[in-house]
Amino acid sequence: MIKIITIITIFFLYSCSNTSPTTVKTSDTQKVLAIEYGVIKSSSPVKIKGESNWIGATAGGMIGGLLGTQVCGEEEIIGTKCQDIAVIFGTLGGVAAGTVIQATLGNHNGFQYIINIDECSESISSCQTNQDKAFVQGDKESITIGQRVVIIYGNNIRVIPYEG
């Protein structure tokens, strides 16, 4: 029983996402991605609020249900085994707790960037500034104002300093 709870807990913690621009998901590898170049106009720190999904709810429900099997034994309450009632309430409580815990573990710091996007023709040397776009990205340190960046569009958008 302890092994099952440990495995579910590890799975639950692993499901928490990381939004660092240097972390690339498998789905963004070995395929052509669109890019843009630009210059950081402003950088503001933001708090990125975590979100929950079915993984946290499922893991919490499984743990709550397993813990419910350890309550009361074979006693009956209003014609129903106490343990059955405990499993149901344990599962429901676990779903709620798993959802909240996953969202809380996903909270982290990041930065909102306003980037002046270049409009380029065939070469970077002929780029002209075109428009501003805003991006939010989780990271520990901000990209400095005035830094030239490349914006990589895939399943996730990444803003990375560019020296070119």
Are 111 and 46 in contact by the 8 Å Cβ rule? The answer is: yes
What is the CATH classification number for the domain harbouring 36? 2.40.50
My answer on whether 99 and 122 are in the same domain is no
Dig out the tokens for 29 from the structure.
Answer: 């590898």
The pLDDT of residue 55: 87
My answer on whether 65 and 131 are in the same domain is no
Q: Report yes or no on 26 lying in a domain.
A: no
Q: Report yes or no on 27 lying in a domain.
A: no
Dig out the tokens for 80 from the structure.
Answer: 């129903």
**H or E element: which one contains 94?**
helix 82-105
Each residue's pLDDT tens digit, 111-152: 999 999 987 655 555 556 568 899 999 888 899 999 999 999
* Pairing of the two strands 148-153 and 34-48: antiparallel
- Greatest distance between any 2 Cα atoms in the chain: 80
Domain hosting residue 60, numbered range: 1-21+51-105
What CA–CA distance (Å, rounded) separates 150 from 38? 6
Instruction: Give the residue from 22, 4, 18 showing the smallest Cα distance to 160.
Output: 22
The pLDDT of residue 43: 94
Q: Report yes or no on 149 lying in a domain.
A: yes
Over residues 34-63, the mean pLDDT reads: 90
Dig out the tokens for 60 from the structure.
Answer: 């919490």
Q: Regarding predicted confidence, which is higher, 147 or 102?
A: 147
Dig out the tokens for 122 from the structure.
Answer: 């065939």
My answer on whether 82 and 38 are in the same domain is no
Of 69, 84, 105, the one marking the end of a domain is 105
Of 87, 105, 123, the one marking the end of a domain is 105
Considering its fold, how many domains does the chain have in total?
2
My answer on whether 74 and 136 are in the same domain is no
* Pairing of the two strands 108-119 and 76-77: unpaired
Q: Which range has the worst mean pLDDT, 12-26, 29-43, 103-117?
A: 12-26
Is 62 a residue whose pLDDT tops 80?
A: yes
Each residue's pLDDT tens digit, 141-158: 899 999 999 999 888 888
